[in-house]
Amino acid sequence: MLLFTCQPSLSILVTLALSHFTNLEISTLIFLEPGLFLCQTYLQPEKMSLNNCSKSRPHSLIHLAGFLAMFSTFSFLSTYVTSLSFELTSFNPNDRRIIYEGNATCTEPVIQLTVNQRDKTMNGSTGRVRYGDLLHLWDKASGQVTNFSTHFSFVIDSQNSSNHADGFAFFLAPSDFPLPDNQQGRGLGLLSLSGNKPFNSSSEPFVAVEFDTWSNWEWDPPGEHVGIDVSSMLSVANVSWLSSILDGKQNDAWISYNSISKILQVNFTGYQNNTKILQNLSYPVDLSQLLPERVTFGFCAATGMYFEIHTLSYWNFSSDLQIDISPVPAPIEPNHTLTPPPLDHPVQEPGKKNTTGLVVGLSVGFLVLLLGVGLLWFGVKRMCNGEREEESTLFDPTLEDEFARGTGPRRFSYNELARATNNFSEEEKLGEGGFGAVYKGYLRELGDYVAIKRVSRGSQQGEKEYASEVRIISRLRHRNLVQLVGWCHEKRELLLVYELMSEGSLYTHLFKGKGPLSWNARYKIALGLASALLYLHEGWEQCVLHRDIKSSNIMLDSSFNAKLGDFGLARLVDHVKGAQTTMLAGTMGYMAPECATTGQATKESDIYSFGMVMLEIACGRKPIIPVQEGPPIRLVELVWDLFGTGKVREAVDPRLGDDFDEQEMKCLIVVGLWCAHPDSSLRPSIRQANHVLNFEAPFPTLPQSMPVPSYHVPSPAPVVSSALASSSASSTAFEIGQPPYSSSYSNTTDSSRPTAASAASSPSQTLLRPQ
């Protein structure tokens, strides 16, 4: 979109010149008012491909530069338009127009405003993103104020938890607007609040539109709401928001300001009876009386004691401050004779040409033109070379040769995958993770549907994961591993093509309501995952450490066969060594406790993650369980507590009712606890766990209370538990191990956290109700 100011007679000339000298197609020409028009354009892709840069017409660039130089002489004679306009349909970390503060990060193609990382807690987080250029809000000399409008798409996702906080906001503020120095979520990343004081308008002026998900009784209305804040967390106007935070659905908001009426208008989406609706809010406010001439603007979010994920996926903004800078002639008083000023040099004789000005003007114009053409040539050449350099440095040439010789995954072109996904449309998006989005696509050559993972552009970690995944999974062949069909790295895109798993992930079935899982399906999934991990640890030429085993990485086909995927964090190690010192990686709740101190990925840390998934399958609960008061409780602590008191039946997913095999359930829970043992030396190998799951070996003996990491037994070999050996299929036989049990044991991670025993003293069915 191009904005011009000129005489009406020149507007058509500008349009024709742009169309002739460039690869821009003119689709719309809109006259806003005399002397101001909008020219809407789009690029012709077949002409703008980087592969065709050398074929472009250099003389067109020269002509365009000359035309624009000539046009600039006339364009700003009467009205100076200081406008700011942009549209960001996706985000990447290399875009210098966006400034990140606090915990805000780019996980391409979206922005995460608060912590959403696999290795960090997500509460007590504050983040902010601002546009790099300041907005010229009003002009002191003329008194004129800008009109502006913005549209953005965002998601607030509590991951199905009813306890979530605190919210998200769009703001305008002075350029030195400070980021809060504390972790109080109630300030939404706008203010550092002390005590119960809700504002400090004198030192920190701002105007914001808040999407508040936690009601602070000191100043907020009850419930989730949208409010307009003027230098205070006490909203000057608010309305109840019919949000979709539990489901994590996308919302849209449109905010506009009219400089004539001084009305700040907010329109936003909500959900009622699972149907999207439009809500609105407005308030009269004179921004020129509150804020400086130039302001910064963007988004902020915060979490406090509870957490939620704040994601920004789209942002459009435009403003149109017009300042009249035409020279105004002094008024001529009537009945006075105008006397010309005295001449400092003689008048040139008629017919005598003064060529000095012409020569100087032509020389300066030529130099400016030459400089412009040089800059254009340099920029085009750099774009042409950039993609080739990027592709050549991402992988070793031997890697592509290796793929080309093999019979496994093949290389696809970017255009093939773009066609397969309808140009990566939102309608084809299956999901989104920390390092990219996954799309459904149809490849005509294969005659089948596939899943295409689009790795976040510009992310160094994303490139490493892409390279790791292609190197490792392309060599592996097992019925319980997601098959890599192909790959692509061109046009600054990193893409992986997998077989499409029609039933989605285990996570969506357990926690997102995709569909109930029968007990037969659950146990089949557990056996499939055990088989996959046995192959990775012992069945290939090298040991493969997955490092991110979790329910969302376990995919299901139409027969509910489990297939382990996402090898972006996987590493190869020798079978003898079996460990790798590396940066902390994985997902909170699934990471073995020793990883935080040793920094090592081992077979035992993979076994711990496997055990947590076993408990998820049996209990229908996430590894970390939020509670209304106090810190969240770990699932392994709660289940071990019930195991020690002989109440393991209370740990079973209530959605199953009585429709499960008690022996298999008992086996799954015991293996889950065994694999999630705090002491890594007392965990089984995946072969041992697999034997027990298939009832080829006796159950291990486990302590009645969850041990601390220093706990040891005389022999790690599994033996038959007397309590288990005498069990039958009756409900009383399902109560495992009932010796005396002490309800107080040490928690090695947080001495202030309530023990699992104290948690279990409350109604277990309440804690174990599926989210």
- For residue 631, give the DSSP letter: S
Rounded Cα distance between 608 and 688, Å, is: 14
Give alpha helix (H) positions in 620-743.
635-644, 662-675, 686-693, 722-725
Task: Give the residue from 667, 464, 684, 470 showing the smallest Cα distance to 585.
Answer: 464
Region of 159 (left: φ > 0; alpha: ψ -120 to 50; beta: rest) is left
**Strand stretches in 77-224, DSSP E:** 79-82, 85-88, 98-102, 105-107, 110-112, 125-131, 135-136, 148-157, 167-173, 207-212
Rounded Cα distance between 399 and 180, Å, is: 48
The count of C-alpha atoms lying within 13 angstroms of the C-alpha of 197, restricted to the half-sphere facing its C-beta, is: 9
Rounded Cα distance between 441 and 422, Å, is: 8
* 235-257 burial: b if 16+ Cβ within 10 Å, else e: bebbbebbbbbbebbbbebbbbb
Q: Residue with structure tokens 């390092």?
A: 435
Residues 157, 548, 606, 641: which is the catalytic one? 548
Phi then psi dihedrals of residue 490, to 5 deg: -160, 165
Rounded Cα distance between 504 and 552, Å, is: 9
Do strands 294-303 and 105-107 pair parallel, antiparallel, or not at all (unpaired)? unpaired
Task: Answer for the pair 112, 355: CB distance below 8 angstroms, yes or no.
Answer: no
Rounded Cα distance between 560 and 544, Å, is: 24
Task: Answer for the pair 675, 642: CB distance below 8 angstroms, yes or no.
Answer: no
Task: Answer for the pair 557, 578: CB distance below 8 angstroms, yes or no.
Answer: no
For 5, the token pair is: 């100011």
Residues paired with residue 240 on neighbouring β-strands, in sequence order:
225
Task: Give the residue from 290, 299, 278 showing the smallest Cα distance to 98.
Answer: 299
Rounded Cα distance between 617 and 666, Å, is: 12
Residue 139 known to be catalytic: no
End-to-end alpha carbon distance in the chain: 46
For 559, the token pair is: 């027969």
The one-letter code for the residue type at 78 is: S
Residue 453 is labelled as binding a ligand: yes
Rounded Cα distance between 537 and 309, Å, is: 34
Q: Residue with structure tokens 């790690």?
A: 716
Residues paired with residue 445 on neighbouring β-strands, in sequence order:
none
* Burial environment of residue 710 by CB neighbours within 10 A (0 to 12, 13 to 18, 19 or more): exposed
How many residues belong to the chain?
A: 771
- Mind telling me the catalytic residues? 548
Residue numbers in the known binding site for ATP are 453
Residue numbers in the known binding site are 453
